[in-house]
Amino acid sequence: MCERGSQCYKRYQEWENNEEIQIFREYLRIPTVHPDVDYDQCVEFLKRQAEGLQLPVQVIEVNPGKPIVIITWEGTDPTEKSIILNSHTDVVPVYAERWSHPPFAADMDSEGRIYARGAQDMKCVGMQFLAAIRALKRDGIRLKRTIHATFVPDEEIGGKLGMKEWVHKESFKQLNCGFAIDEGIAGPGEEYPLFYGERSVWHVLFHISGTPGHGSLLLKDTAGQKARYIIDKLMDMREREVKKLEDNPELTIGDVTTINITMMSGGVQSNVVPPELMICFDVRVAIDVKHLELENQLLDWCREAGGGIELEYDQKCPFVKPTKLDGSNPYWVAFKDALDELGLKVKPQIFPGGTDSRYIRGIGIPAIGFSPMNNTPVLLHDNDEFLHVDTYLKGIEVYKKIITNVANC
């Protein structure tokens, strides 16, 4: 074996034998995958992690079969507001035939890339939180504020039976949370994306009634004519948002309202004009858009189209104030100081999708989404999702500093 080959082999063996990498890969091998998630194996794994950390753990179920695991590291002053380190245990479905490695094998290639569903979204973050705590405890460090590492279910399907309900329960209030850290997204360049707010998710269904009849006629006020009007109005609005994004390189996708047709249905036969059509739009409402004005605009378009259109909201998230990134937020000051001390470049922005942070912010608790993965292709929900070993291990060091700062502020 050549010298370079020998060095590569030695490095690979070091990765293989690293305790934190072994724990991470074990977690990735637990297939907590939708649509039918079995969380039992995951809960037992997390209980073992708590035991190894010599920390108390509790498991609660706001909804049956949807366990929330809480691992607590008590601070020197438990009366102070606590810090929540939140992650979700579920992952999205896979198309295994499109992967170069089995998606739940957590294979590591010779370059140090670990392939698995959840490698980026977001089993990495949950284990990095615990690894940071393990390192701090090993160093004999005690933090002022209590830390709660929370592992929640069903985030990938909106968190309706997980965080959304839990934040309103007594078991959450008892955590006495003052600040939360949750997931972010990988960054392909040197900068780390950092998220302080989210757009509001609206899934709008237009049930459009019109004149039915034979397909050979030119009937007035058909559902198709009305549907065209609604589609034109919303797609024109979409184009304005596209232009806004193109004209300002400082904006990210989270700064604009996105509009997409996601479902269309109706009709019974190719030569019959249907009495009703349904069109569904996925609308992610930018934080600077007034919700009442947008809803009134949709209603106006329904009337202008000819009436007979019923609006249904499959999901209609309210406006949630973003977390303040200024001197009025002591947690952010401590967080930012940690980033500066580490020499990390971050780009604060609005999250393009939805995370459980919106429910935490919704009850008035500041939250930041941050996954320490830079120089990494964005592969969440994609085939061959992977994370490099060195990126994972560096992330542990990053969280050590951040957690120490915010827990001692």
Q: Which domains does the chain have, with CATH numbers?
A: 3-198+320-408 (3.40.630.10), 200-316 (3.30.70.360)
Q: What is the pLDDT of residue 13?
A: 87
Nearest partner of 147 among 74, 50, 58, 69, judged by Cα: 74
Task: Measure the CA–CA gap between 138 and 149, rounded to whole angstroms.
Answer: 17
Using alpha carbons only, give the angle 343, 346, 348 rounded to the nearest 5 degrees.
150
**Would you state the structure tokens that stand for residue 244, as one six-digit string?**
């806004």
Block means of pLDDT (10 residues each) for the chain, 409 residues, are 62 90 98 96 98 98 97 98 98 97 97 97 98 98 98 95 97 98 97 97 97 97 98 98 96 97 97 98 97 98 98 94 97 98 97 93 98 96 97 98 98
Nearest partner of 204 among 329, 120, 118, 310, judged by Cα: 310
122 preceded by cis ω (within 30°)? yes
Query: What are the backbone angles phi and psi of residue 245, rounded to the nearest 5°?
Result: -70, -40
- Please tell me whether the overall predicted TM-score, pTM, comes out greater than 0.75 for this model: yes
Q: What is the pLDDT of residue 4?
A: 57
Q: What is the pLDDT of residue 2?
A: 42
**Would you state the structure tokens that stand for residue 153, as one six-digit string?**
């279910």
Neighbours of 382 (CB within 10 A): 16
35 preceded by cis ω (within 30°)? yes
3-class DSSP state of 187: coil
Residue 155 falls in the annotated catalytic set: yes
Residue 20 falls in the annotated catalytic set: no
Using alpha carbons only, give the angle 156, 162, 165 rounded to the nearest 5 degrees.
130
| Catalytic-role residue among 155, 156, 182, 255 | 155
Neighbours of 110 (CB within 10 A): 11
Given the structure tokens 């949630």, which residue do they identify?
320
Task: Measure the CA–CA gap between 360 and 321, rounded to whole angstroms.
Answer: 11
Q: What is the pLDDT of residue 1?
A: 42
| Catalytic-role residue among 90, 121, 182, 183 | 90
CA distances in angstroms from 266 to 13, 216, 229, 245, listed in the order given: 59, 18, 17, 34
Query: Which amino acid would we find at residue 115?
Result: Y
- Residue 195, burial from CB neighbour count under 10 angstroms (0-12, 13-18, 19+): buried
